Amino acid sequence: MKPTLLVLAAGMGSRYGGLKQLDGVGPNGEIIMDYSITDAIRAGFGKVVFVIRHSFADEFKKHINADHFGNKIAVEYVYQELDNLPAGFKVPEGREKPWGTNHAILMAKEVIHEPFAVINADDFYGRDAFQVMGDYLRGLEGKKGDYCMVGYKLENTLSENGTVSRGVCNITSDGFLAGMTERTSIGRTANGIEYKDDDGSMHPLNADDTVSMNLFGFTPDYFGESEKLFVEFLKERGTEMKSEYYIPFAVNTFLNSGYATMRVLKTTAQWFGVTYKEDRPMVVERLKRLHEEGIY
C-alpha cells in the first residue's frame, strides 16, 4: 500500500500577489511543489491529489500533470469552492472568504481511500519530513484514528516580512499531541516572539515551541468524522462572513474526545516558505544551495 499526498493549493496567495504556487523559485524555474512531489515520490507515495479552484484550473494543469513528474506518481484534482457544502447549508450572502483548510481536505473524500499526508502547496518541507511521514503512513493500513504530524520549531518558521499563523502544539512526554492552538499574527517584536489575539493584546511564545506547518498524516476515516464536525461548525458559525474550519479545530476535537491519537514525528528537515513576496529571495537562495549540495 502506497500512501497519497494531498496538496492544498486552492489559495491564490493574496498577501503574496498572484498565483504564488506557480512561481519558479528554483535554479531551473522549479516551483516549490516540484520539490514536495519529488520528495514524496522518493518517500514512496503513490498518488498526489491537488485541491484547486475552477478559476485557475487551466493555468494550474499546464504546469502540474503526471508527465511533469515523469509519470512516477498518479495525479488527480479536486475543487474547493464556497458552495461545496453539506446538504441543507448554503453560503451566506456576501461571503467571499474560503471555509478553511479542513474544508479543503473534505474535497478529496471521494478520491482518497488510503492513509494520506496533507501539505500546503507553497511551503517547502524538506526530504526527511516526507520520508518520516511516508514510513509512518505505510504502517497504518486498515487502522482508524491513528494520525500523525511533522513538527517544526517555531523560530524556524517565521517570516522577516510580516506576521504568520501557526498551530502551536502541546506534546505529551511519550510524543503524542495533547492539543493544538491556532495562533494568528505571530511575529518577532522587541520583546521576542509574540502573537496578537482577537482583542489586539500581545502575548509571548517560546522560540522552541513545536508548531504545525500543515504536514499531517491521516487514515481515511478522517473524512467522514471531520465532515460530521463540519456540519456542527456550520450550524454554529455558518452565517459568519469570516469563520474558518481549520485543521487544528478538527484535530483537537478528535483528541479531546478520545477518538484519535496524533503522533508527533521528528525531522531533521528545515521548513521555509513564501508567505510574502519579500520572502522570495531567501527561498531562491536556499534552493540554490540545496542544488549545489546535490540534494536536488
Q: Are 123 and 11 in contact (CB under 8 A)?
A: no
Domain range 4-150+212-249+258-292, its CATH number among 3.90.550.10, 3.40.50.720, 3.90.660.10, 3.30.360.10: 3.90.550.10
What are the residue ranges spanned by the domains of the chain? 4-150+212-249+258-292
The model's confidence at residue 50, banded by pLDDT at 50, 70 and 90, is: very high
Question: What pLDDT score does 97 carry?
Answer: 87
For all residues of the chain together, what is the average pLDDT?
91
The model's confidence at residue 117, banded by pLDDT at 50, 70 and 90, is: very high
On the question of pLDDT at 49 being above 60, the answer is yes
On the question of pLDDT at 14 being above 60, the answer is no
Question: What pLDDT score does 122 carry?
Answer: 86
Average pLDDT over residues 161-175: 92
Least confidently predicted of 64-73, 147-156, 190-199, 223-232: 64-73
Question: What pLDDT score does 180 carry?
Answer: 85
On the question of pLDDT at 12 being above 70, the answer is no
Phi, psi of 205 (to 5 degrees): -130, 155
Average pLDDT over residues 155-165: 89
The model's confidence at residue 113, banded by pLDDT at 50, 70 and 90, is: very high
232-277 tens-digit pLDDT = 999 999 999 999 998 988 998 999 999 999 999 988 888 998 878 8
Question: What pLDDT score does 18 carry?
Answer: 53
Question: What pLDDT score does 15 carry?
Answer: 42
Average pLDDT over residues 64-89: 88
96-106 tens-digit pLDDT = 888 999 999 99
